[in-house]
Structure 1
Amino acid sequence: MRMFSRYGVQRTSMGDLAKEAGVGRQTLYNVFRNKDDVLGALIRAYTEGHHPADGGMGGVPGA
């Protein structure tokens, strides 16, 4: 979420997201089709109460 907040969805690449998450780009693509899917999963996880301040991203696949 930090990358989207800092650079916006348009300027953030899957490579940027993978690097921030500490995984390879292909690993990210194995779980998500595109960055819209990543953003959707982050929003779902946050609204369901699975955000990092609560101890994890349990609602995000692969996290």
Structure 2
Amino acid sequence: MLKSAGGGLTVTDGPFAEAEGPSGGSALIEAGSREEALELSRRFFKIVNDAVVRMEQIY
């Protein structure tokens, strides 16, 4: 789970999180590693500002 607030990025493990508000939308990205996926997420958060994102690996 990724959470962006105030320009910072918090990464936590686990597929379940407490819902704090409305949710919606999805994006599918292709990344060669977990680190690359996190870097792409950082770029995304620069556009949308504060948000919560759940990342899942698809084979």
* Larger RCO: 1 or 2 (CA < 8 Å, sep 6+): 2
Per the normalisation by structure 2, the TM-score is: 0.37
Per the normalisation by structure 1, the TM-score is: 0.35
Question: Whose strand proportion is higher, 1 or 2?
Answer: 2
